[in-house]
Amino acid sequence: MSAAVITTEHAAQLDPAQVAPPIITNNRIGHDSLFEHTEGGTPQRILPLIGNSHPTRWAPRPYVLDVMFDGGRRRVYADDTADAAGVILGEAYRALQVAAAAAAAAFDDDPNEDTAQAVVDTDAALFAARAAHATTIRTALQRQHNEAITDWAALDQWDTQVLHQSMDPDALAPGCYPDNHPLNGALSTITGAAEAGEKLLWAADAVLVCSTGDYWPYSDVLPPQSVAATTVTGVATPVTLAGDSQLVWLNPDNEAGYLESLRAAGVITIDIYPVDQVDTIWQTVYEQIHSKHANVSA
């Protein structure tokens, strides 16, 4: 993980055999972007390469990760998920990453109760930051899905309550609460308070966005499960099978899982390029494939 963010010119001077700090660009033509006009006048995105200007026998390479975020307005090019997550979650999160790395190094140098607690504390702070970010994304996504609902009358009062509640970042997460909690979000087939340990099944024909950070083991709330109706072959009566057809899950448990869940939810896109250098026998073909996307000089 690198705390720094560099430019394409800096990346071109680095050793392509080493991990490079990330680059942030605008994903449109204009200031601080990586677009150029082709001969036909069509804008062409340029893929930044590491090592274009480095005196090495290794061929220049692209970053491992190419992530579009911020509603498609920006991109981060990174060699690991920690750097990509740091850029997407912002400067405060990158500062926490630096603190966590320092705590881990201190523990490696001198493992004791204090340095071990520092590792625990910084890891907890990183998770809390991811969970808070997930709540922001969850409520925004839920609002988008709710706006796409065309027939609210088809949903019962519990479904409607849960969907509206899920747009409020300060509301309790929809799920199953123990006896000492009010049931703030319920199941289509439940008309009263749920018992402790009872699962919340989401059976409505509407998308419900959830974050794992809102549920056990991070709280005493049990996560909802969705159900999907299907018909068994040869049987006329539909049977209910468990599934997640109408649940969108964000997973801030760790950085890699969180980025993947954001991708699955349609919040970001992720392109992955080969980590290893291309064998010389395929180098010419590789360069031809990437010639339209590679910066010639930096």
Question: Same structural domain for residues 248 and 277?
Answer: no
Question: Same structural domain for residues 97 and 157?
Answer: no
Question: Given CA atoms 67, 69, 75, 80 in this order, what sign does their dihedral have?
Answer: negative
Number of independent structural domains in the chain: 2
pLDDT value of position 285: 54
Q: Could you tell me the residue range of the domain that residue 58 belongs to?
A: 8-111+273-290
d(CA 160, CA 138): 17
In angstroms, how far is CA 93 from the centroid of its own chain? 14
Question: Given CA atoms 222, 228, 233, 239 in this order, what sign does their dihedral have?
Answer: positive
Task: Show pLDDT as tens, one digit a residue, over the chain (298 residues).
Answer: 655 888 888 988 888 888 899 999 887 655 444 555 455 656 667 778 888 877 766 778 889 999 999 988 899 999 999 999 999 999 999 999 999 999 999 999 999 999 999 999 999 999 999 999 999 999 999 999 999 999 999 988 888 888 998 898 888 777 655 443 334 343 333 334 444 445 567 778 899 999 999 988 888 777 887 765 444 555 556 555 555 668 899 999 999 999 999 999 999 999 998 766 555 555 555 555 455 444 433 3
Question: Same structural domain for residues 54 and 12?
Answer: yes
Residue 62 burial class via C-beta count within 10 angstroms: exposed 0-12, middle 13-18, buried 19 and up: buried
The three state secondary structure string of 99-162 is: HHHHHHHHHHHCCCHHHHHHHHHHHHHHHHHHHHHHHHHHHHHHHHHHHCCCCHHHCCHHHHHH
Edge-to-edge strand list for the sheet holding 23-26:
23-26, 74-78, 65-69, 269-272
Question: Given CA atoms 46, 51, 54, 59 in this order, what sign does their dihedral have?
Answer: negative
Residue 67 lies in a domain: yes
Residues sharing a CB contact under 8 Å with residue 68, sequence separation 6 or more, in sequence order: 27, 74, 75, 268, 269
Residue 127 lies in a domain: no
Residue 76 lies in a domain: yes
Residue 122 lies in a domain: no
Task: Assess contact for 68 and 269: CB atoms under 8 A.
Answer: yes
Question: Same structural domain for residues 281 and 242?
Answer: no
pTM for the model stands at: 0.78
Question: Same structural domain for residues 18 and 47?
Answer: yes
Residue 134 lies in a domain: no
How would you classify the pairing of strands 269-272 and 208-211? unpaired
Residue 138 lies in a domain: no
Residue 13 lies in a domain: yes
Question: Same structural domain for residues 27 and 86?
Answer: yes
pLDDT value of position 104: 97
Question: Same structural domain for residues 247 and 277?
Answer: no
Question: Same structural domain for residues 17 and 106?
Answer: yes
d(CA 13, CA 295): 13
Residue 297 lies in a domain: no
